[in-house]
A and B are shown apart, each in its own frame.
Chain A
Amino acid sequence: KAGVTQTPRYLIKTRGQQVTLSCSPISGHRSVSWYQQTPGQGLQFLFEYFSETQRNKGNFPGRFSGRQFSNSRSEMNVSTLELGDSALYLCASSESGRELRNEQFFGPGTRLTVL
């Protein structure tokens, strides 16, 4: 099976702009989670989607949003970018039901730089 893919791999934006990142999960996986990774904070959970519904949400401001399509592909959007949004954004897919009993498969990430 093909792994998790994320596009684009690198992105440079300026403050105030908005950005959309895309994630294609492993075929058959219905759960997609998004994480923000920064050197100081490690991996921080943004949200999880399952069957087109947001199942869980982390502690990020409303500028961070996401959605999932019927084919399980997911997008996340960040509006009004701030310098602090510069990070590696990772998406992970899983066969997991609600209780997260299965491993997550991570994509290579999108490196977002905000100038």
Chain B
Amino acid sequence: QQPVQSPQAVILREGEDAVINCSSSKALYSVHWYRQKHGEAPVFLMILLKGGEQKGHEKISASFNEKKQQSSLYLTASQLSYSGTYFCGTVSGGSNYKLTFGKGTLLTVNP
């Protein structure tokens, strides 16, 4: 089942902060975050694994609440280059490790 992202869209001024949330109805093994700029391929930001391990870019901050099956991506002091669509993907594990993406959050950073 597809995770639910919120908000669907957000507009910021440069320097402002934003939080993008991702919620699943299933128990999660991991949460993956990607950013896609218009006309480009999605680019990896971070993986958060059950048990606390994280892999990703140093400037990206995220959290994973395993009990609530929720994750949040924190974008601080936003830059124009942060604009794009952010996708969270979830892996439920068990016998089926497939990555299911949410519908995305469109982030626009204006000068």
Contacts and interface: CB of A to CB of B under 8 A. Distances in A.
Given A42-B87, A108-B41, A109-B41, A102 B101 contact: no
Contact of B44 (A57, A101, A104): A104
B98 interface: yes
A47 B100 CA distance: 11
Given A102-B47, A106-B41, A48 B98 contact: yes
A44 interface: yes
Interface in B9-40: 29-30, 32, 34, 40
A43 interface: yes
Contacts of B49: 101
Contacts of A56: 96-98
Contacts of A33: 99
B97 A42 contact: no
B102 interface: yes
Interface in B84-111: 87, 89, 91, 93, 96-104
B99 A45 contact: yes
A113 to B, nearest CB: 16
Contacts of B32: 100, 103-104
B43 interface: yes
A42 B44 contact: no
Contacts, number: 65
Nearest to B100: A45
A58 B103 contact: no
Contacts of B104: 42-43
A42 B30 contact: no
A108 to B, nearest CB: 5
Given A42-B87, A101-B49, A107 B44 contact: no
A107 B101 contact: no
Contact of A100 (B30, B40, B87): B30
A79 B23 CA distance: 35
Q: Which of B47, B87, B96 has the most CB of A within 10 A?
A: B47
Given A33-B99, A98-B97, 9 more contacts: A4-B41, A43-B101, A45-B98, A92-B42, A99-B97, A103-B55, A106-B41, A107-B41, A108-B40
